Amino acid sequence: MRKKIVAGNWKMNNNLSETNELIAGLKNEMNSITLENTRVVIAPSFVNLQQAVVETKESSIEVSAQNLHQAKNGAYTGEISADMLASIGVDIVILGHSERRAYFNETDESLAEKVTTAIENGFDVIFCFGEQLEEREAENHFNVVESQLKNALFELSADAFDKIILAYEPVWAIGTGKTASADQAQEMHAFIRSLLAKAYNTELADSVSILYGGSVKPANAKEIFSKPDVDGGLIGGASLKAKDFSEIVKSI
Ligand code: PGA
């Protein structure tokens, strides 16, 4: 049975003391939640990852990075390698977030390299993709998603998909307060599963967790998560408040 996952993408938020405070709040809230077949993940900034690993050690919360560099090491000023992350106990990474594609020039090609590096280093990858508003309005969203997945992922071996978590995030729904309807999410997730079935096989398609991301809040999480092909969420804004994030976890 594929896993359900609720992941919090903290983006460029929370200094060290805020990180400690939020994790303490989350651990407190999580005490009253029984998780079945569900992973709860937080993705703090690079500088606070090590602290987050220490603070979550005795809890069911897992820690993810928000990016990594594709090269093993070397002259890449300002970048972070898979080995550096692994050495502090981080083995999950978010790749391909629309903000990285838009502001840091990440392309399907560089993302394919990053995914390969992450998989070779034993990471779970939360791979993000999704269409822009104009692309949906032009009814081109299925084509866009298909090419994002084909270009960045479909050269991988079937085995690699044990480590891939997909996160469909329509760009028009990120940080805008506009959520895709539960039916729109379900429609796209079912389409994604059909692409996986075509490129690999139905067993693999059924085993990959597909998260929805984009303005998920306590008020809409339950409806979105109730859809059969939605296996959880990637949460931005609402992951910055312990109460909201744990309410979302409870909705799974
Ligand atoms: P949001 O962000 O929940 O604030 O819309 C989601 C994301 O960027 O992953």
Q: What is the pLDDT of residues 30-46, one digit of tens each?
A: 998 999 999 999 999 99
Q: What is the pLDDT of residues 3-29, one digit of tens each?
A: 999 999 999 999 999 999 999 999 999
Tokens found for residue 181: 């309807």
What pLDDT shows up at residue 172? Answer: 93
Strand order across the beta sheet in which 210-213 lies: 61-63, 38-43, 4-9, 232-235, 210-213, 164-168, 124-129, 92-95
Question: Does the annotation count 189 as an active-site position?
Answer: no
Mutate-to-test residue for ligand 1 from 5, 6, 9, 41, highest number of ligand atoms within 8 A of CB: 9
Taking the C-alpha atoms of residue 137 and residue 62, their distance in angstroms, rounded to an integer, is: 37
Taking the C-alpha atoms of residue 81 and residue 121, their distance in angstroms, rounded to an integer, is: 10
Q: Which residues have C-beta within 8 Å of that of residue 210, sequence separation ≥ 6?
A: 165, 166, 167, 168, 189, 192, 193, 229, 230, 231
Q: Which of 110, 122, 202, 224 is nearest to 164 (CA)?
A: 122
What pLDDT shows up at residue 1? Answer: 85
Q: What is the pTM of this model?
A: 0.97
Q: What is the pLDDT of residues 169-204, one digit of tens each?
A: 999 998 888 888 999 999 999 999 999 999 999 999
Question: Does the annotation count 97 as an active-site position?
Answer: yes
Mutate-to-test residue for ligand 1 from 13, 132, 234, highest number of ligand atoms within 8 A of CB: 234
Q: What is the pLDDT of residues 109-138, one digit of tens each?
A: 999 999 999 999 999 999 999 999 999 999
